[in-house]
Structure 1
Amino acid sequence: MSDTPGGPGQSGQGPDDNNPFKGTPFEQIFSQMGGFGAGGGMPDLNALMAQMQSLFAPHDGPVNWDTVTDLARRAAAQEPDPAVSPAQSSAVADAVRLADHWLDTTTEFPSGVTTTAAWSRAEWIVETIPVWKVLVEPIAGSATDALGQAMPEEMRQLAGPLMAMLGKASGAMVASQVGSGLGALAGDVLSASDIGLPLGPIGKAALLPTNVTAFADELPDVSTDDVLLYLALREAAHQRLFAGVPWLRDHLIGAVAEYGAGMDFDTSGMESKLREVDMTNPAAMQDALAGGLFDPEPSAAQKAALEKLEVTLALVEGWVDEVVSQATAERMPAAAKLQETVRRRRAAGGPAEQTFATLVGLELRPRRLRDAATLWGSLRTRQGTEARDGVWMSPHLLPTAADLDDPLGFREDSVSPEELSEEEFDAGLRDLLDGGSDPRPEE
């Protein structure tokens, strides 16, 4: 087969020689929609045109989220996604209820669960779209703005009306990529908080029974009931933390959004590449868009922001790991194996984290989960549950990356809250939040 992309009038030996979009920016879009592909024949052109109209329909912002949702559900439907049965919903509700009861003895934070849910993969997509909008749109907007800034003036004049079409085509491709990414992610996540971010509605503890069952099948020595309860404990613990620490939800989601909005694209490099693009050749336009044109180079500020984000995420996951370990210590013999499995899954970065990296441009992995769990456990052992949970009063009190380097030494020379008078504690906290001196009393 020739290396030159074939058009509608070309003949060739491939299975998609009858693809009228071959060599155009829409080839990738329609292949992800299950239209043309290996072994595929001519699709329903009426369906393709309807999807085309959807991709280019007027919408607010850089991404058409109606189209994203539709594409994500199509992608998720490539694997069986049965409707959740009443028995599964009841099992999830019972597991979360028991989990919350166990957690009552492990943390000062009250339950953050106001409702429970058992989601299909399609329901997970619909329920989490509002948060994905906040996470994805900044990076999509940054890419679109960078493309406009990088376009050489002479090319703008030459392109004329094609500029608007190029912007719409790039937006359609973003929608296609996000839709297929969320569809893949839906097949891997286990709960609403599985990747460490509160993707679902506030107070709704949700698990995905189909994915939980698949996860349990990989652990033949652990019962499905134990797997469900352990994951319910993690979900309920996340909900407690996000409810008990009001600033944390916006802090994490906002940090990811700010990272994307501040993406530093090399517009000079983009301009050089664009000067080589033949604007009359759709295949060349597609190659430019897909071949690294938008590859960003993280700025120094972004690298610093990413380190803080990773530390905060590790602290969240480490705290969840610590309180769940407390809750299961004398109740669930299989907890140690489940803890290690989840730790490896989160720290190594499974398909969920890889898909997230594709969607928002960064890897969201708590690489230092073990250090964070050790730090929280050590602090509780030395100073009690109140001291451990009190650290979450403000982001200014949180451990730093340096503290994770020595997790056993975090606040080793500080006194426990019960040894401080209320006036001393309040004064010390004010000093710390105001950037003053260390509030810890001298020995």
Structure 2
Amino acid sequence: MPDDIERSDSSGEPAGLPPEMQEALRRMTGGAELPPEVMEQLASMGLGQIPVAQFEGMLSQFQSMFAGPDEGPLSPTITTDVARKAVAAQGDPAMGERERQLAAEAGHVADLWLGEVTDLESPGLRGVAWSRSEWIEDTMAVWQTLVEPVAAGVTGAMTKAMTAQFADGGMEALSAMLPPGTNPAAAMAQVGPMLERAGGSMFSMQLGQGLAGLASEMLTGTEVSLPLTGDGVLALIPSNIASFAEGLEIDLEQVWLYLAVREAARLRLFAGVPWLAAQIRTAVQDYARDLAIDTEAIEDAMRGLDPSDPGAMQATLADKLFAPDPTPAQRAALARLETWLALVEGWVDVVTDRAAGRHLPQAGALGETMRRRRASGGPAEKTFAALVGLQLRPRRLRDAANLFAALEDKGGATLRDSAWGHPDLAPSAADLDDVLGYVERRAATPEPDDLDDALRELLGGDGG
């Protein structure tokens, strides 16, 4: 035992933790007594100086990391639970019949207006009003698929750091807790999977915090330009819409209808262009998979964590997870992701302006507000990027909107929407740099059906 650990306090009683903390530890170990050496080491770490209630909360948090089913590097159960508790603490009113009726009517009207300006088929939309927690629950399955590559990298780095810390500073305590003759190194091998689950749990908690932040700002189900909702579900989040509309000096009904049109446009695009959702998911996963994990910073953070302050653990790690300088592969993946997000929002912007502009007097002002909002990203999006590593910002939204508007000026809505006819026809980042060149090429390029007819004619007819 280290010489600097006192064996008794000023009263002459054996040193260690207060009786209440000792009892909490007994409950954690199923009633078993911890060796005096372990109790003294825990006391030397300063655990005896914190309130018992805080100590029990810390134990509960650590127990939750190891308990429950092993769901891999990302636990949707933990993520959903953390996110729901966070939005509930902020205030998350349940949706009533009035909100549901308003959402259903707005979705129906939006679908009709869009039918006037685009030939992309409606997927049979139904407007629904969601609370923040409902947005979290209904989009969790898609988030899990998108974020798992990040979770795998972060969990591996955190597991390595915790294993090294445990081996360096906890071997003596581990030896004291083991039966006589047990090899501590062999026991450490058994601890590895537990630490891996703890690392996954910690990242799942961070994702939960990030989603709670997004849920507090999202106005509609797919506002971040990702296909997050189920088929035909046009989700509006009334509590967030009310906060958004407060400083606009625009009638709330117009805001609802305008946002419903934007959401309906995204859903028509995802449904009418079957390959688009897969392209976006692939871009997100490629970006996530290429994220550079700052393993050294994580190890330093783990060594410096105060075990008496579990709340500081995630705050510390949130600033340490990702390398400050992206790798070339990550920069390339991020460029592809931002291009796809910009193309989606650019098309939505133009189509919404055509549909809502005919009916809503303030559609222009709302459109400019939404362009700024999406291009710059709100506080929650920035927090989400820091916690999870995913940047969901369509930086070139205006360039994309100009491109689709130019296509429409050249050949009407048909040419505008034909850009989605095939992945090879869709604009690239280079096309956003040369909008007029792309428009001229698209106007001169036959549609795929026309190409097939020309090929058949060249080959001598259907039988050639």
Q: TM-score range by the shorter chain?
A: 0.7 to 0.9
Q: Which residue of 1 aligns with 2:113?
A: 102
Name which of structure 1's ranges 294-303 and 373-382 shifts more when overlaid on structure 2.
294-303
Of 199, 202, 210, the match for 1:181: 210
Give the length in aligned residue pairs: 390
Q: Is 2:66 the partner of 1:56?
A: yes
Query: Relative to 1, partners in 2 of residues 1:51 and 1:393: Cα closer, same or farther, differing over 3 Å?
Result: same
Alignment of 1:246-285 (within 5 A): 246-265=274-293, 269=296, 273=300, 277=303
Given that 2:55 and 2:308 are in contact with CA atoms closer than 8 Å, whether structure 1 keeps it comes out as: no
Query: Relative to 1, partners in 2 of residues 1:165 and 1:289: Cα closer, same or farther, differing over 3 Å?
Result: farther
Given that 1:113 and 1:239 are in contact with CA atoms closer than 8 Å, whether structure 2 keeps it comes out as: no
Distance 2:449 2:278 in 1: 29
Distance 1:129 1:141 in 2: 17
Local SS of the residue matching 2:117 = coil
Local SS of the residue matching 1:411 = helix
CA-CA distance at 1:80 after TM superposition: 2.4
Q: Which residue of 1 aligns with 2:104?
A: 93
Local SS of the residue matching 1:77 = helix
Distance 1:74 1:287 in 2: 16
| CA deviation string 1:386-439 (max 9, x = no partner) | 22211112222111222212324423255467x7794436669xxxxxxxxxxx
Q: Letter of the aligned partner of 1:197 in structure 2?
A: L
Instruction: Using structure 1 for the length normalisation, give the TM-score.
Output: 0.77
Q: Which residue of 1 aligns with 2:378?
A: 350
Distance 1:368 1:425 in 2: 34
Name which of structure 1's ranges 179-188 and 139-148 shifts more when overlaid on structure 2.
139-148
Distance 1:427 1:169 in 2: 61
Compare the two structures and name the one with the higher helix fraction. 2
Given that 2:236 and 2:260 are in contact with CA atoms closer than 8 Å, whether structure 1 keeps it comes out as: yes
Q: Letter of the aligned partner of 2:226 in structure 1?
A: L
Distance 1:254 1:240 in 2: 20
CA-CA distance at 1:202 after TM superposition: 2.4
Distance 2:337 2:206 in 1: 24
Distance 2:91 2:434 in 1: 46
Q: Which residue of 1 aligns with 2:43?
A: none
Given that 1:113 and 1:236 are in contact with CA atoms closer than 8 Å, whether structure 2 keeps it comes out as: no
Q: Letter of the aligned partner of 1:227 in structure 2?
A: V
What do you get for the CA RMSD once the two structures are aligned? Answer: 3.7
CA-CA distance at 1:154 after TM superposition: 11
Given that 2:72 and 2:200 are in contact with CA atoms closer than 8 Å, whether structure 1 keeps it comes out as: no
Local SS of the residue matching 1:206 = strand
Alignment of 1:136-155 (within 5 A): 136-147=147-158
CA-CA distance at 1:85 after TM superposition: 1.0
Q: Which residue of 2 aligns with 1:433?
A: none
Query: Relative to 1, partners in 2 of residues 1:427 and 1:170: Cα closer, same or farther, differing over 3 Å?
Result: farther
CA-CA distance at 1:273 after TM superposition: 4.9
Query: Relative to 1, partners in 2 of residues 1:415 and 1:281: Cα closer, same or farther, differing over 3 Å?
Result: closer
| CA deviation string 1:253-305 (max 9, x = no partner) | 232122212323355x469859x949998989969972865323532122111
Query: Relative to 1, partners in 2 of residues 1:152 and 1:334: Cα closer, same or farther, differing over 3 Å?
Result: closer
Local SS of the residue matching 2:89 = coil
Which runs of 5 or more residues in structure 1 are unaligned? 1-8, 10-18, 21-39, 429-443
Of 121, 130, 150, the match for 2:141: 130
Rg larger for = 2
Given that 2:157 and 2:293 are in contact with CA atoms closer than 8 Å, whether structure 1 keeps it comes out as: yes
Q: Which residue of 1 aligns with 2:132?
A: 121
Q: Letter of the aligned partner of 2:95 in structure 1?
A: V
Q: Letter of the aligned partner of 2:206 in structure 1?
A: Q
Given that 1:147 and 1:270 are in contact with CA atoms closer than 8 Å, whether structure 2 keeps it comes out as: no
Q: Which residue of 1 aligns with 2:87?
A: 76
Query: Relative to 1, partners in 2 of residues 1:119 and 1:308: Cα closer, same or farther, differing over 3 Å?
Result: same
Q: How high is the sequence identity, in percent, across the aligned residues?
A: 42
Q: Letter of the aligned partner of 1:341 in structure 2?
A: T
Given that 1:83 and 1:120 are in contact with CA atoms closer than 8 Å, whether structure 2 keeps it comes out as: yes
Q: Letter of the aligned partner of 1:129 in structure 2?
A: M
Instruction: Using structure 2 for the length normalisation, give the TM-score.
Output: 0.74
Q: Is 2:274 the partner of 1:238?
A: no
Local SS of the residue matching 1:356 = helix
Given that 2:162 and 2:299 are in contact with CA atoms closer than 8 Å, whether structure 1 keeps it comes out as: no
Q: Which residue of 1 aligns with 2:253?
A: 225
Of 34, 58, 76, the match for 1:65: 76
Distance 1:409 1:72 in 2: 46
Given that 2:298 and 2:317 are in contact with CA atoms closer than 8 Å, whether structure 1 keeps it comes out as: no
Query: Relative to 1, partners in 2 of residues 1:403 and 1:217: Cα closer, same or farther, differing over 3 Å?
Result: same
Distance 1:288 1:176 in 2: 11
